[in-house]
Chains A and B, each alone.
Chain A
Amino acid sequence: MIAFLRRLFRNRLAGLGAVTFAAIVLFVVVTPLLPLPDPNATATADRFMRPFSEGHPLGTDHLGRDLLARLAAGTRLSLAVGVAAALIAATIGSAIGIVAGYFGGRIDNVIMRGVDMLMAFPYILLALAIVAALGPGLMNALIAVAAVNVPFFARNIRGITVGLAGREFVDAARLSGMGHTRIILSELLPNVLPVIVIAMSTTVGWMILETAGLSFLGLGSQPPQADLGSMLGEARSALITHPHTSVVPGLMIFFIVMSINLLGDGVRDALDPRLRSGALSRPRAMTEVKREDPVPAPTDDLLALQDLHTQFHVGDRVLRAVDGVSLTVAPGECLGIIGESGSGKSVTALSVMGLVASPPGLITGGAVRFRGEDLVGAPYERLRQARGDRVAYIFQDPLSTLHPLYRVGDQLAEAIRAHHKVAAKEARARAVALLRDVRIPNAESRLDDYPHEMSGGMRQRVGIAMALANEPDVIIADEPTTALDVTVQAQILSLLDDLRRDRGLAIVFITHDFGVVAQLCDRVAVMYAGRIVEEGPTGAVLNAPAHPYTRRLIACVPELGQGRRELAAIPGLPPTLDDLPAGCAFAPRCEKARPACSAAPIPLEGSGRRAVRCLYPETRPEEAA
Chain B
Amino acid sequence: MGGYILKRLLSAVPVLLGITVIVFLIMSLIPGDPATAILGAYATPENVEKLNRDLGLDEPMIERYFIWLYNMLQGDFGRSYSLNRPVLDEILERFSATLILAGTSFILCSILGILAGVVSAARQYGMADKLITFVVLIGISVPSFFLGMMMILLFAVNLRWLPVSGMYAIYGGGDLPDLIRHLTMPALALSAVATGVIARMARSAMLEVLRQDFVRTARAKGVHERRVITRHALRAAMVAIIPVLGIQAGFVLSGAVYIEIVFQWPGVGRMLVDAILTRDLLLVQGGVVFVAACYVLFNIAVDVAQSLLDPRIKT
- Write the residues of chain A forming the contact surface with B, with a CB cutoff of 8 angstroms: 13, 113-114, 116-118, 120-126, 128-136, 209, 212-213, 216-219, 232, 236, 239-240, 243, 246-247, 250, 253-254, 257-258, 261-262, 279-283, 285-286, 350, 353, 355, 357, 380, 384-389, 392-393, 395, 397, 400-406, 414-415, 418-419, 450, 452, 463, 466, 469-470
Contact B223 A402 (CB under 8 A): no
C-alpha spacing A216/B142, complex, angstroms: 14
Contact B143 A405 (CB under 8 A): no
Given known contacts A213-B258, A353-B220, A239 and B19 CB-to-CB distance under 8 angstroms? no
When distances are taken between beta carbons in the complex, the residues of chain B under 8 Å from A129 are 23, 26-27, 284-285, 288
A286 to chain B, nearest CB (A): 8
Contact A404 B254 (CB under 8 A): no
CB closest chain-A residue, reference B291: A125
**Chain B 34-58 against A: per-residue CB contact (8 Å), 1 yes, 0 no?**
0000000000000000000000000
When distances are taken between beta carbons in the complex, the residues of chain B under 8 Å from A385 are 222
B73 to chain A, nearest CB (A): 19
Contact B29 A283 (CB under 8 A): no
B287 to chain A, nearest CB (A): 8
8 Å CB contacts to A: which residues of B111-163? 121-122, 124, 137-138, 140-143, 145-146, 149-150, 152-153, 157
Contact A130 B26 (CB under 8 A): yes
A309 to chain B, nearest CB (A): 21
CB closest chain-B residue, reference A13: B137
24 of the cross-chain contacts (CB-CB < 8 Å) are A121-B292, A121-B295, A128-B288, A133-B29, A134-B31, A218-B277, A219-B276, A219-B277, A243-B153, A254-B142, A261-B140, A285-B225, A355-B216, A355-B220, A388-B220, A397-B213, A400-B212, A402-B214, A403-B218, A403-B232, A404-B236, A414-B218, A418-B222, A466-B217
C-alpha spacing A499/B220, complex, angstroms: 20
Given known contacts A122-B250, A404-B214, A132 and B15 CB-to-CB distance under 8 angstroms? no
When distances are taken between beta carbons in the complex, the residues of chain B under 8 Å from A236 are 149, 262
CB closest chain-A residue, reference B269: A124
Interface: B183 (CB within 8 A): no
Interface: B219 (CB within 8 A): yes
C-alpha spacing A406/B238, complex, angstroms: 13
B72 to chain A, nearest CB (A): 15
Given known contacts A124-B257, A217-B258, A387-B221, A282 and B121 CB-to-CB distance under 8 angstroms? yes
When distances are taken between beta carbons in the complex, the residues of chain B under 8 Å from A134 are 29-31
Which of B77-85, B172-180, B307-315 sits within the interface? B307-315
CB closest chain-A residue, reference B238: A405
Contact A125 B254 (CB under 8 A): yes
Given known contacts A120-B15, A450-B312, A240 and B217 CB-to-CB distance under 8 angstroms? no
Q: State which of B143, B223, B275 has its C-beta within 8 Å of the C-beta of A414.
A: B223
8 Å CB contacts to A: which residues of B260-296? 261-262, 269, 272-273, 275-277, 279, 281, 284-285, 288, 291-292, 295-296
Contact B277 A213 (CB under 8 A): no
A93 to chain B, nearest CB (A): 16
Q: State which of A285, A393, A405, A418 has its C-beta within 8 Å of the C-beta of B309.
A: A405
Interface: B228 (CB within 8 A): yes
When distances are taken between beta carbons in the complex, the residues of chain A under 8 Å from B194 are none
Nearest 8 A/B pairs, CB to CB: A117-B18, A258-B141, A124-B254, A388-B222, A250-B146, A387-B222, A388-B221, A122-B250
C-alpha spacing A313/B217, complex, angstroms: 23
Contact B236 A414 (CB under 8 A): no
Contact A401 B214 (CB under 8 A): yes
When distances are taken between beta carbons in the complex, the residues of chain A under 8 Å from B255 are 124
Q: State which of A122, A136, A240 has its C-beta within 8 Å of the C-beta of B253.
A: A122
Interface: B207 (CB within 8 A): yes
Interface: B235 (CB within 8 A): yes
C-alpha spacing A384/B223, complex, angstroms: 7
C-alpha spacing A240/B165, complex, angstroms: 12
A22 to chain B, nearest CB (A): 17
Contact A122 B312 (CB under 8 A): no
Interface: B251 (CB within 8 A): yes
Interface: B13 (CB within 8 A): no
When distances are taken between beta carbons in the complex, the residues of chain A under 8 Å from B277 are 136, 218-219
Contact A415 B221 (CB under 8 A): yes
When distances are taken between beta carbons in the complex, the residues of chain A under 8 Å from B279 are 135
Contact A132 B275 (CB under 8 A): yes
When distances are taken between beta carbons in the complex, the residues of chain B under 8 Å from A246 are 146, 149
C-alpha spacing A450/B140, complex, angstroms: 38
Contact B18 A113 (CB under 8 A): yes
B38 to chain A, nearest CB (A): 11
Interface: B167 (CB within 8 A): no
Q: State which of B138, B143, B254 has its C-beta within 8 Å of the C-beta of A123.
A: B254
Contact A282 B211 (CB under 8 A): yes
C-alpha spacing A469/B223, complex, angstroms: 13
A562 to chain B, nearest CB (A): 29
C-alpha spacing A126/B284, complex, angstroms: 11
Contact A239 B219 (CB under 8 A): no
C-alpha spacing A293/B292, complex, angstroms: 67
Given known contacts A257-B141, A258-B138, A122 and B222 CB-to-CB distance under 8 angstroms? no
Given known contacts A116-B15, A122-B250, A405-B235, A283 and B210 CB-to-CB distance under 8 angstroms? yes
Interface: B239 (CB within 8 A): yes
C-alpha spacing A250/B151, complex, angstroms: 13
Contact B149 A239 (CB under 8 A): yes
A124 to chain B, nearest CB (A): 4
Q: State which of A125, A254, A280, A386 has its C-beta within 8 Å of the C-beta of B292.
A: A125
Contact B153 A386 (CB under 8 A): no
A3 to chain B, nearest CB (A): 23
Q: State which of B19, B146, B295 has its C-beta within 8 Å of the C-beta of A253.
A: B146
When distances are taken between beta carbons in the complex, the residues of chain A under 8 Å from B22 are 117-118, 121, 126
A-B contacts besides A355-B216, A405-B311, 14 pairs, CB < 8 Å: A121-B22, A122-B292, A128-B272, A131-B276, A132-B27, A135-B279, A240-B152, A240-B164, A281-B124, A282-B206, A285-B219, A355-B219, A388-B221, A392-B221
C-alpha spacing A133/B275, complex, angstroms: 11
Contact B217 A123 (CB under 8 A): no
C-alpha spacing A261/B273, complex, angstroms: 28
B136 to chain A, nearest CB (A): 10
Contact B19 A117 (CB under 8 A): yes
When distances are taken between beta carbons in the complex, the residues of chain A under 8 Å from B310 are 405
C-alpha spacing A586/B13, complex, angstroms: 67
When distances are taken between beta carbons in the complex, the residues of chain A under 8 Å from B299 are 120
Given known contacts A213-B258, A219-B276, A403-B217, A121 and B19 CB-to-CB distance under 8 angstroms? yes
C-alpha spacing A219/B285, complex, angstroms: 16
Given known contacts A258-B137, A387-B222, A232 and B146 CB-to-CB distance under 8 angstroms? yes
Contact B254 A402 (CB under 8 A): no
When distances are taken between beta carbons in the complex, the residues of chain A under 8 Å from B312 are 404-405, 450, 452
When distances are taken between beta carbons in the complex, the residues of chain A under 8 Å from B239 are 405
Contact B145 A122 (CB under 8 A): no
CB closest chain-B residue, reference A255: B141
Given known contacts A258-B138, A466-B221, A122 and B251 CB-to-CB distance under 8 angstroms? yes
Given known contacts A217-B261, A218-B273, A239 and B152 CB-to-CB distance under 8 angstroms? yes
| Among B149, B153, B215: residue with most chain A CB under 10 A | B149
Given known contacts A254-B141, A401-B214, A120 and B285 CB-to-CB distance under 8 angstroms? no
Contact A285 B251 (CB under 8 A): no
Contact A132 B225 (CB under 8 A): no
Contact B292 A392 (CB under 8 A): no
C-alpha spacing A121/B261, complex, angstroms: 21
A47 to chain B, nearest CB (A): 20
Q: State which of A216, A250, A257, A389 has its C-beta within 8 Å of the C-beta of B222.
A: A389
C-alpha spacing A118/B250, complex, angstroms: 13
Contact A254 B146 (CB under 8 A): yes
When distances are taken between beta carbons in the complex, the residues of chain A under 8 Å from B218 are 403, 414
C-alpha spacing A275/B221, complex, angstroms: 29
When distances are taken between beta carbons in the complex, the residues of chain B under 8 Å from A136 are 276-277
C-alpha spacing A364/B20, complex, angstroms: 66
When distances are taken between beta carbons in the complex, the residues of chain A under 8 Å from B157 are 240
A116 to chain B, nearest CB (A): 7
